[in-house]
Structure 1
């Protein structure tokens, strides 16, 4: 009889410990599945963009896809465009896109689609000249473009991108 109660206690504690470990592992597995699930959605921002009090996320991640909001050629963290016209704005826009992508686990080489919005379609060639320096000729993203009657901050160009995440 003296040996039965300690034995029962050991069996009970061992079962409880095993159940606790299994429950933790199950929660961890669920968490991992959610983070890699194609249905998981993350609304992403950074101090750089939240400091400007803008009413949108800089990017949204859905599964392994990253959707960037439209990006301007502004000085990072400020509602002020770089000076120098369409070429300078396009260069700054692409640098801003590069920074946002890298901050959220992607890169320029993982962009699959861009939408170009131009205040003046006559700027098309000058914008392309700069834009193309950011990609290899064999890996150009799909792209569309449209002329806009006005862009935020009186920008000449705004670019919206979709990329995969590493």
Structure 2
């Protein structure tokens, strides 16, 4: 097999496990995030204490703030900020109907907007029947390109 002269070497990989983040109650190999060269992948973050217990049960505003704080910690551990986030997926549990769904969404979004820069990342939000355990209302994962925060939007 021929190797190209300009082929890059192996990627630099760093496991991200910020102090104070929740951990599985059973041994698992999962990580809070990974930095691979200038890419940072934040695994799904929940509103949980260090032992995985739900914080802010029934309160989407409290849980959203806790989740975004957890994402912030993983980003910081890898040398990134919210300005570097280029993709964000949000999964949320809302059993309400009609106007109550809109009110739930607005409460969640008002907190999210306190963290997201303008322009914000590409985003997806998926309403789900449930998350890992009962009581969790929101889970967020993100991808960041470290050093991309100075890019401006074109119209």
Greater relative CO, 1 or 2 (CA 8 Å, sep 6+): 2
**2:63/2:137 contact within 8 Å kept:** yes
Paired residues, number: 129
> After superposition, what is the alpha-carbon deviation per residue over 1:89-134, rounded to whole angstroms, capped at 9, x for unaligned?
0011111111111112111121111001011272322211110111
- 2:125 pairs, out of 140, 145, 162, with 145
- 1:45 pairs, out of 17, 22, 25, with 17
**2:22/2:52 contact within 8 Å kept:** no
What is the 5 A alignment of 1:121-132?
Answer: 122=101, 123-132=104-113
Q: 2:53 maps to which residue? A: 80
Aligned equivalents of 2:86, 2:55: Cα separation in 1: 26
What is the 5 A alignment of 1:52-71?
Answer: 52-53=24-25, 55=28, 56-71=30-45
**1:80/1:153 contact within 8 Å kept:** no
Greater share of residues in helix: 1
Unaligned runs of 5+ in 2: 1-7, 96-100, 148-155
Which 4+ stretches in 1 moved above 3 angstroms?
39-43, 46-54
TM-score normalised by L of structure 1: 0.67
The residue matched to 1:70 in structure 2 has which SS? Answer: strand
Aligned equivalents of 2:108, 2:61: Cα separation in 1: 6
The residue matched to 1:162 in structure 2 has which SS? Answer: strand
Larger Rg: 1
Q: What is the CA distance between 1:145 and its match in structure 2?
A: 1.0
Q: What is the CA distance between 1:74 and its match in structure 2?
A: 1.6
Greater share of residues in strand: 2
Over the aligned positions, Cα root-mean-square deviation in angstroms equals 2.3
